[in-house]
Amino acid sequence: MTMLKFLFAFAIYGFSISAHAISSEPVEGAQTTRHQVELIRDRDYKCLQCHKDAKETLNLSHEPEALLSQGKTLNCTNCHSNIGPDHREGAPDVIKFTAAQSKAVHDKVFLDPSTILKANSQCVDCHAPTQLRE
């Protein structure tokens, strides 16, 4: 029983030392501002989970240096809009770009003019119309 009392007293003594150390006053001249953590998130991460080769295609078709000179970053949502997780079910807010010009005549897909204008409106935010015609 005396051993149990000794261990209990020793534990209380150890706790009192740590409690005293925690409640100490701040030292003058010590840095009082806390470091602010800035979260860095890849905006394309959610897209690249399924569209794995899209990042390489994006980098090959657009020059990142040109976008940086305009103060913009190259990512999926800049051109395809900020889409939701249900875009696989044909959500209307996905802006699609089809390569109809590179297909044979009998395989071409004719798009609705409003769809073409909606897609082109995304392009002219960064590109001049004369560049797009070339």
Given a contact cutoff of 8 angstroms between Cβ atoms, the answer to whether 72 and 78 are in contact is yes
Question: Is 119 or 22 the better-scoring residue by pLDDT?
Answer: 119
Q: Is the pLDDT of residue 6 over 80?
A: yes
Percent pLDDT > 90 in the chain is: 0
Of 28-37, 56-65, 66-75, 97-106, least confident by mean pLDDT is 97-106
Q: Is the pLDDT of residue 35 over 70?
A: yes
Where residue 101 falls among pLDDT bands split at 50, 70, 90?
Answer: very low
State the Cα–Cα distance between residues 78 and 73, nearest whole angstrom.
Answer: 8
Rg, the chain, Cα only = 30
Cβ-proximal residues to 74 (8 Å cutoff; 6+ apart), any chain: 58, 59, 62, 64, 67
Q: Is the pLDDT of residue 9 over 80?
A: yes
State the Cα–Cα distance between residues 101 and 117, nearest whole angstrom.
Answer: 16
State the Cα–Cα distance between residues 83 and 90, nearest whole angstrom.
Answer: 11
Percent pLDDT > 70 in the chain is: 49
Q: Is the pLDDT of residue 2 over 80?
A: yes
Cβ-proximal residues to 93 (8 Å cutoff; 6+ apart), any chain: 81, 82, 83, 84, 87
- The pTM of the full predicted model, rounded to 2 decimals, is 0.46
| Average pLDDT of the residues of the chain | 70
Average of per-residue pLDDT across 25-53: 72
